[in-house]
Amino acid sequence: MILAKRSITLLGAGTIGASWAALFLSYGEKVQVYDSDQNALLNVKKYVERVWRDLASIMPDHPLIPWENLLLTQNLKRVCQDTVWVQENAPDNLVIKHRLLSDAEGVLEKHIPIASSTTALMASDIQAEMTYPERFIVGHPFNPPHLIPLVEVVAGKKTDPELTERAKAFYESYGKEVIIPKREATGHIANRLQAALYREVVHMVATGIASVEDIDRAIVHGPGLRWAFLGPNLVYHLGGGDGGYAHYLDCLGPSQETRWKDLGEAALSDETKGKLVNGLTETLGEASMTDLRTKRDAALIGLLKLKKHLDGSAT
């Protein structure tokens, strides 16, 4: 039996909750997962079994799955006892989150932090009806959390200022890259960037500028390669030659402004959604969701290993 170092509670057993469970288990923690849906709980075990080999490939000393450290239950009170951290993973619906957090606070000691994996909701809105809002913070991962390092930590208006650094240290202890926005904003940082790109994707498909396939190929074989290692600001710094970022902005900034003015608005009408779905379906052919997830995760693992190797060689 592998003795757990500490106990972590997950509220919500969907894809994000299951991925968090796999990550925390891989670090030897006791993981307590609550969900009102028994089928969702059963899927957590299947998920962990499926991704454990992937985790083992990036953590060579991985043990067998420590099932004795995993508790799956519909008993909220049970998972809120003997825990050091609560990670909430309910659907991005304010009413659902308010109800779940209210129930959790009824059985959870007041000093235990509650972090939310919310994609787009504001921390201040989620904590607004809490009894102890100072213990709430957003800890937004990128899917799948067991592989992608990014976590965005966002405090609400009533969050204890010390909790931000505490959350940062917590996620970093599991190998995460933590970023902290200077203020709250819908979608935090990374999803706002994705939304800006996707708006133009939808506009180009809707207006016939490009096909779904060619848009994806443009990213995969172009800027996406750089973005795995360089942020957009550094990309343009290098694009400025010896003069760097300042030279780029002076010389090519006007061309950026010209492109901004030509970018379109996007609306997901039924017609546009049909174009997007049909375009992707034609591209994928017979590939199943299982095939696509397997390919995605294998690519992520390979990329993570390369990034780790390059980081090590640079020191």
Domain residue limits, the chain: 7-179, 190-284
d(CA 212, CA 63): 42
Q: For residue 129, what are the CA distances in angstroms to 89, 102, 124, 295?
A: 18, 8, 9, 42
Q: For residue 301, what are the CA distances in angstroms to 53, 57, 295, 308?
A: 11, 8, 10, 10
Other Cβ atoms closer than 10 A to 123: 25
Crossing angle (nearest 10°) for helices 38-58 and 15-26: 50
pLDDT given for residue 276 in this prediction: 95
Contact 24, 87 (CB under 8 A): no
Closest CA relative to residue 9, chosen from 66, 75, 99, 91: 75
Domain 7-179 matches domain 190-284 at the CATH topology level: no
pLDDT given for residue 1 in this prediction: 44
d(CA 158, CA 289): 41
Tell me the helix, strand and coil percentages in the chain, rounded to 5.
55, 10, 35
pLDDT given for residue 4 in this prediction: 59
Contact 168, 43 (CB under 8 A): no
- CATH match of 190-284 with 1.10.1040.10: yes
- Predicted TM-score of the model (pTM): 0.93
CA 63 to chain centre: 25
User: How do the pLDDT tens digits run along the chain, 315 residues long?
Assistant: 445 578 999 999 999 999 999 999 999 999 999 999 999 999 999 999 999 988 988 876 767 899 999 999 999 999 999 999 999 999 999 999 999 999 999 999 999 999 999 999 999 999 999 999 999 999 999 999 999 999 999 999 999 999 999 999 999 999 999 999 999 999 999 999 999 999 999 999 999 999 999 999 999 999 999 999 999 999 999 999 999 999 999 999 999 999 999 999 999 999 999 999 999 999 998 889 999 999 999 999 999 999 888 887 655
DSSP reduced 3-state for 231 = coil
Q: Which fold has domain 7-179?
A: Rossmann fold (3.40.50)
